[in-house]
Amino acid sequence: MGRITVLFLRRLWLPALVFSAFCLLCVAVYMRLEGLRAIDAFFWIFHPHSIDYRSVRTATKLFSIFVYVGVFAFQVWIAERVLVTIFNRQGLEAWKSMVNDANIAKLKDHFIICGYGQVGRTVVDQLTRLEIPFVLIETNEGLCRELLNDRVLVIQGDAKRHDVLLQAGIQRARGICIVIDSDADNLYITVTARSLNAKAKIITRAGQQRYANAIRNSGADEVIIPEYEGGLMTGRMIQKYYPAQGSLE
């Protein structure tokens, strides 16, 4: 909401300033021509039909036409600025971001995905296919912009920060999946997420066994080592060609 407000302020400050000066000029002229109070002169600017043409000077009538045309011109100018702000690329991105934030605020019983690397992409694709509600946390601005265009709920930020996890709704979430390419970061996020929601299910990626044990001891419900899991799957595939051998664990 703040971003789109800033865009509107940037677009509208000049017409607003010029229009204010125009109104002051009109008030001064009406007061001089007809001896009006400032409030009455100001009222005439926006309600020209209140002017009694039978009791005012010819100069006032001509000036009221100028005022009417001027107000109309300012309306067109401001409308043009508003439309440009809404429909240009920055305006559309700001609008999508505002809608994205509003939808995230309504989420509950969802999963939070931290990281959009190779593993994170696969997780997002699976959850999308299964229609499981989720919100993604990613630091890369370009990726976040692409995901917004694809209508994926995403927060640009560092998942190690409390405020980012709170924005993602960690206290309302069913769980969190932490798949960043850094064991140290994954450990830190696991500890932070557990402190913010003791009931959340936490699935964390680890690259090394020593980190897997530390992450599990820090509160993770499941710890996945992609390389280890891939090795097990490959072994099972090979086992199919040796049916007489014992099963792989």
pLDDT recorded at residue 174: 95
Same domain, yes or no: 61 and 124: no
Q: Residue 166's pLDDT is what? A: 95
Q: Same domain for 48 and 148?
A: no
CATH number for the domain harbouring residue 200: 3.40.50.720
Question: For position 245, what pLDDT does the model report?
Answer: 60
Q: Are 155 and 226 in the same domain? A: yes
Residue 168 lies in a domain: yes
Run means of pLDDT, 10 residues per run, the chain, 249 residues:
62 85 92 90 88 86 91 87 67 70 90 91 91 93 86 92 94 94 92 94 88 89 82 78 63
- One domain, residues 120 and 223: yes
pLDDT of residue 177: 95
* Same domain, yes or no: 122 and 81: no
Same domain for 164 and 81?
no
Block residue for tokens 């509003």: 102
Query: Residue 94: what pLDDT?
Result: 63
Q: CA nearest 14: which of 95, 67, 85, 86?
A: 85
Is 140 in the same domain as 187? yes
Give yes or no: residues 31 and 152 share one domain.
Answer: no
User: Residue 56: in which H helix or E strand, if any?
Assistant: none
Q: Is residue 174 part of a domain?
A: yes
Q: What angle do CA 144, 147, 153 make, to 5 degrees?
A: 90
Residue 94 domain-assigned (yes or no):
no
What pLDDT, on the 0 to 100 scale, is given for residue 87? 63
Asked if residue 191 belongs to a domain, the reply is: yes
Domain that holds residue 83: 2-87
Is the residue at 69 inside a domain?
yes
Q: Check whether residue 231 and residue 165 sit in a common domain.
A: yes
- pLDDT (0 to 100) of residue 191: 94
Residue 93 lies in a domain: no
Residue 151 CB-density burial (10 A; 0-12 exposed, 13-18 middle, 19+ buried)? exposed
Task: Report the pLDDT value the prediction gives residue 148, as an integer from 0 to 100.
Answer: 85
Q: Is the residue at 249 inside a domain?
A: no
> Of 37, 56, 87, which residue constitutes the final position of a domain?
87
Both 231 and 117 in one domain: the answer is yes
* Residues 53 and 164 occupy one common structural domain: no
Does residue 118 form part of some domain?
Answer: yes
Give, as one character, the DSSP assignment of residue 199. T
Residues 6 and 51 in one domain: yes
The count of structural domains within the chain is 2
pTM of structure: 0.63
Which ranges of the chain would DSSP assign to H, the alpha helix?
2-34, 38-46, 58-87, 89-106, 118-130, 141-149, 162-167, 183-196, 209-217, 226-239
pLDDT for 93: 65
